[in-house]
Amino acid sequence: MELQAIEQSGKRVLTTSQLAESFNVNPKIINRNFQRNKVHYEQGKHFFALTGEDLKGFKAERQEDASLKFVSVLYLWTEQGAWLHAKSLNNEKAREAYSALVDGYYNLADKMKSPEFLIAIQDKKILEMAEKINKMEKGMMTIQTQMQNQITLNSGEQRRLQKAVGERAFALEKDSAKRGQVFRSIYSAIKKQFAVKSYRDVKQYQLQKAIRFVEKWNG
């Protein structure tokens, strides 16, 4: 459960509704428990009671909170006040809930000021920054790969492919008069295999694949 942080006079506090939700009880139980044991509760130590302009200001900042609509006196419970309620409820769940409140809510502000917490936050920011840089580098690598994959054969690579075509044509057809047709057929097969208009448009990264294709071509 995530509680909205509320502070009063430099202390973290909870509304009756928040405290009841934490203890998994009806807010009426918290109110009844307070009324029955009021003598043990000290204002400023265990609770704060907001009325008048203070209450109006508090409500104005939390207009979405329907539980405050008809409240004429708003009680805000400190850590000590929460402990008295947990003690009065006298059950294991209430004590466990109180312990969770102390660790996860009342003392959270102090923890956030501790060197250990600040170091943890700094480490988290460093990790987040490293992750962003890693994503940027991967993105750049992807763009570079895509750009490289669009580069066609240079003149030297074209000659290598031409040589492979020539060797294959000579291997398949001994008659020089018929060899021209074999050349045309191999080049046509290259264009179809690699979806290009000319063998010169074969991409650089496809060169070895194109050479192997020619070496295995049988018409």
Per-residue model confidence as pLDDT tens digits over 178-215? 889 999 999 999 999 999 999 999 999 999 999 999 99
Question: Among residues of the chain, what percentage have pLDDT more than 90?
Answer: 37
Q: pLDDT band for position 117 (50/70/90)?
A: very low
- How far is the C-alpha of 173 from the C-alpha of 171, rounded, in Å? 6
Question: Could you tell me which residue, 62 or 167, shows the higher pLDDT?
Answer: 167
The region that residue 90 occupies, defined by phi over 0 for left and psi between -120 and 50 for alpha, beta otherwise, is left
> Do β-strands 74-77 and 11-15 pair in parallel, antiparallel, or remain unpaired?
antiparallel
Residue 112: phi and psi, rounded to 5, are -70, -20
H/E segment holding residue 94: helix 92-101
